[in-house]
Structures are given as structure tokens and as C-alpha cells.
Amino acid sequence: MVSPATRKSLPKVKAMDFITSTAILPLLFGCLGVFGLFRLLQWVRGKAYLRNAVVVITGATSGLGKDSGAIVAAAAEILQCFGYVDILVNNAGISYRGTIMDTTVDVDKRVMETNYFGPVALTKALLPSMIKRRQGHIVAISSIQGKMSIPFRSAYAASKHATQAFFDCLRAEMEQYEIEVTVISPGYIHTNLSVNAITADGSRYGVMDTTTAQGRSPVEVAQDVLAAVGKKKKDVILADLLPSLAVYLRTLAPGLFFSLMASRARKERKSKNS
């Protein structure tokens, strides 16, 4: 049996149920709607940010990383044609495979010229026009190896570490001019990067690594880069779980990271010698 006290409280319970069903649920759905609207606005702003923009994208085939004089001339020609550059994507790069002991200093310099000095020179050539307009976005396509190094990639990793450091400094210095700087650090991408890599003596590597062959689609990575630029992100890692975790492991547990890299070096050396 229901007691008189309980019977009196029933109308209050029903009233509370009514309030919950008519007020709280719509509020929840309203919050979800606001979140969806926020994401939609982000998407629209990203598209508007890129629409009709003058975008310069460098590539390894251009040879811009090899000659600073060519870079300055190319920058001047670009500015003469368009008057300004909204977005610069430093994408030129060359990979490397070899042991440190066998690698000539000329190879180290060649990799550094293409992967580091090339983007730096072009950025510096276009930067004054961006500062004058107080508008521009500079993107550096670095690598996950710009945040941690793996064996037999010394020249490549060094060039990408230098790239990360330079553009991190640039971001801080350009904040007063409202110029955006984004560093993208991809993992393995299914391209010919390993095939076109150079070896310790400067010759072409000519091998499609398994990790590269199993890498992400270039189209997918390009879409992610486009999204990151549209959202004006500052630093983006585009890698699978294990490489991403390795970056944090390098910082949080360096001893363990170094042991794992030493083990990797032993396995790779043994595989080559067998």
C-alpha cells in the first residue's frame, strides 16, 4: 500500500518528470546543436580562409632546395606575378639511408640544403611582403623524425629537427604581425620518398621500404594538411599510433626510448648483413 506521505509526493515526482522531459532534453539537444553549429562555422571559416588565396607549394622536383639564388629569383617572380602570397607550403624534401660512419659530409650538406636551407631561404624571401600586409600563413612539412630520430636516418632526422626549431621560432616572432605558422609532422606516406632517397655515398637508394609502401595515402595526408591550415593549427602530428607514442616516450621515458632505438639498430644491421 502507498502511504499518505508517498501519495502526496507523487504529483511532485510527475511534475519533475515533466520538467525533465520538456526542458532538460531540449537543452541537451540544443547543446549538441550548438556544438554542431560551432564545427560547421569552423568548416566554413576554413573554406573561406583558403578561397581565392595565392598559394605557393614547393616540391623536390623544383630544385629550389639546392640553390639559394634560384630561390630568391623564384620568390621575386612570384611576387611580380601575383603581388603577394597568402599561403606558403614548404614541401620540398629528400630522404636518406645510411650509417653515420659511412656517410660523407657532402651528403649531410646536400640533405640539409634541400630540407632545411631551401625552406628557410624561400620563407625569408617572401616574409617581408607578408609582414607589410600583416597577413600570411607559412606551412612547413616536416616529419615525425623532426621530433624523434631513428637509426640510419641521421641526415634526414637532423634536417627535420632543424626545420622544426626554425619554424617554432618563426611562429613566436611573427605573432606580432598576425602571420600564422604551421608545422606538419607526417609519419610514413605512400610516395617515392624512400625510392628517391640518397645513400651514404650520395647514390640513389632505389628501394620502396615496406613501411613507406604501407604508409598513408598522399591524398589523405593532403586533406589533413588542408584542414590544419584552414583551422590555423600551429603544430600537427599526422602519424599512426606507435610513431606518435614514440614522440612522447622520447620525452617522458628517454632511457626506454634509447634502448628501443638501439635494439632497432641491431635488428636492422643484422638484417642487412644476413
pLDDT the model gives residue 200: 92
Residue with cell 616572432: 173
96 is known as an active-site residue: no
The 10 Å CB-count burial string (b at 16+, else e) for 194-217 is beebbbbeeeebeeebeebeebbe
**Choice among 49, 84, 96, 156 that is catalytic:** 156
Low-confidence ranges of the chain (pLDDT < 70): 1-47, 60-69, 274
- Count how many residues are written for the chain: 274
pLDDT at 65: 44
Q: What share of the chain is helix, strand, coil (3-state, %, to 5)?
A: 65, 10, 25
pLDDT in tens, 32-81: 455 444 455 555 566 677 778 899 998 744 444 445 668 888 899 999 99
What per-residue confidence (pLDDT) applies to 148?
Answer: 94
d(CA 236, CA 239) in angstroms, rounded, equals 9
Q: Which residues pair with 87 in a beta bridge?
A: 55, 137
Residue 177 · residue 128 · CB < 8 Å: no
Residue 18 pLDDT:
40
Grid coordinates given for 72? 630568391
